Amino acid sequence: MKFVNHEEVAAKTKTRLTKNTLLKGVFAAATGFGLVVLAILLYRIVTQGSDYLSFEFFTSFASRIPENSGIKAAILGSVYLMLVVAPVSMFLGVGTAIYLEEYAKRNKFTNFIKVNISNLAGVPSVVFGLLGLTIFVRFFDLGISILAAGLTMSLLILPIIIVASQEAIRAVPNELREASFAMGATRWQTILRVVLPASIPGILTGSILALSRAIGETAPLVVIGIPTILMFTPDGIMSTFTALPMQIFDWTKRPQVEFHDVAAAGIIVLMGLLIIMNSIAVFIRNKYQKRY
């Protein structure tokens, strides 16, 4: 009969507790470092740009004089861009997710497609800019228009929406589908009236987060040749336009310190838009997500 060696147990327990405390401190320090850097960044941006935030800043065009510069053309261009990106990316993304989860057969080819879609979510945005330049700007001759940029941005966030929609659809219990089939519903009726209503919160959350990435992207717009400064607002999806990230990018390149302060004001506006979009996503998730 073996007896417990209390001294050995106490020694091992002490070693484990020491390692636990050490790693806890390391993780806390890493978190604190990130928060400190973020706080410094936010403080610098707010202190630099707050003086330029005014009503005229939102209603004025870009100017060679920092005090007269505004984001009217840029913010309207971003709105027009999102009006193209949102319906295109959500229709294609949700449709693809429905097909892969509800209709496609489970085989190696389907798994190969799913893996590659997930991999596309990690591809650098500049690659999608090159793709948009080749296909939409040159091949389809759409030029540097809102439509060309919107389709390019849709390609950028499409993998994210597909993956988020797949996860939301996959989370719907099979019992709900089987109950619908038992009542005589077709597969499409089951998807439309059972699966989609149950998965809409997750789909909308992923879509809004993907759109918040698209509204802040600069690299694809630079690659396809979107101008940084315009003195007019777009009047249709085929119009030339500029976007808020492009305007900020131009101001940060200028040597005058005042333009850097104007860029900080633009960053504050862009962060505000991102915070609003992310808050809407969190609200939808918390309010409408069902627990099964």
pLDDT tens digits, 43-62: 999 998 888 888 889 988 88
Among 52, 68, 87, where does a domain finish?
52
pLDDT tens digits, 252-283: 888 888 899 999 999 999 999 888 888 888 88
Radius of gyration of the chain (CA): 25
Length of the chain in residues, anyone?
A: 292
Question: Do 109 and 18 fall within a single domain?
Answer: no
User: Is 80 part of a structural domain of the chain?
Assistant: yes
Question: Do 109 and 29 fall within a single domain?
Answer: no
User: Is 243 part of a structural domain of the chain?
Assistant: yes
pLDDT of amino acid 3: 64
φ/ψ of 229, rounded to 5, equals -130, 130
User: Is 1 part of a structural domain of the chain?
Assistant: no
Question: Do 23 and 98 fall within a single domain?
Answer: no
Residue 251 CA to residue 245 CA, distance in Å, equals: 10
CATH number for 109: 1.10.3720.10
pLDDT band, residue 36 (cuts 50/70/90): very high
**Of the candidates 163, 132, 161, the residue with the CA atom closest to the CA atom of residue 149:** 132
Question: Do 197 and 127 fall within a single domain?
Answer: yes
Question: Do 35 and 145 fall within a single domain?
Answer: no
Report the 10 Å Cβ neighbour count for 98: 21
Report the 10 Å Cβ neighbour count for 270: 21
User: Is 192 part of a structural domain of the chain?
Assistant: yes
Question: Do 137 and 162 fall within a single domain?
Answer: yes
What is the number of domains present in the chain?
A: 2
Q: Is the pLDDT of residue 2 over 60?
A: no
Question: Do 106 and 248 fall within a single domain?
Answer: yes
Report the 10 Å Cβ neighbour count for 89: 26
Q: Is the pLDDT of residue 65 over 80?
A: yes
Question: Do 68 and 35 fall within a single domain?
Answer: no
3 state SS of 229: coil
Residue 259 CA to residue 52 CA, distance in Å, equals: 10
Considering the entire predicted model, what is its pTM? 0.84
Angle in degrees, 0-180, between the axes of helices 72-98 and 244-253, rounded to the nearest 10: 130
Residue 283 CA to residue 291 CA, distance in Å, equals: 16
Query: Which residue's structure tokens are 């409408």?
Result: 288
φ/ψ of 285, rounded to 5, equals -65, -45
Question: Do 179 and 270 fall within a single domain?
Answer: yes
Question: Do 18 and 125 fall within a single domain?
Answer: no
pLDDT tens digits, 181-202: 898 888 999 999 989 888 888 8
Question: Do 48 and 158 fall within a single domain?
Answer: no
Q: What percent of the chain has pLDDT over 70?
A: 97
Q: Which two tokens stand for residue 280?
A: 């809407």
Contacts of 153 (CB under 8 A, 6+ apart): 81, 84, 85, 89, 128, 214, 217, 220
> DSSP alpha helices (H): ranges in the chain?
6-49, 55-59, 72-98, 108-120, 125-132, 146-170, 174-182, 187-190, 196-215, 219-224, 244-253, 257-288
Q: Which two tokens stand for residue 227?
A: 């101008």
Contacts of 251 (CB under 8 A, 6+ apart): 69, 259, 260, 262, 263, 266
**Of the candidates 126, 104, 129, 123, the residue with the CA atom closest to the CA atom of residue 114:** 104
Q: What is the DSSP code (8-state) at residue 232?
A: S
pLDDT band, residue 1 (cuts 50/70/90): very low
Q: Whole domain around residue 115: which residue ranges?
A: 57-288
pLDDT of amino acid 230: 82
pLDDT of amino acid 14: 84
Question: Do 21 and 34 fall within a single domain?
Answer: yes
On the CB side of 5, CA atoms within 13 Å amount to: 6
User: Measured over all CA atoms, what is the biggest interatomic distance in the chain, rounded to whole angstroms?
Assistant: 90
pLDDT tens digits, 127-137: 999 999 999 99
User: Is 253 part of a structural domain of the chain?
Assistant: yes
Q: What percent of the chain has pLDDT over 90?
A: 41
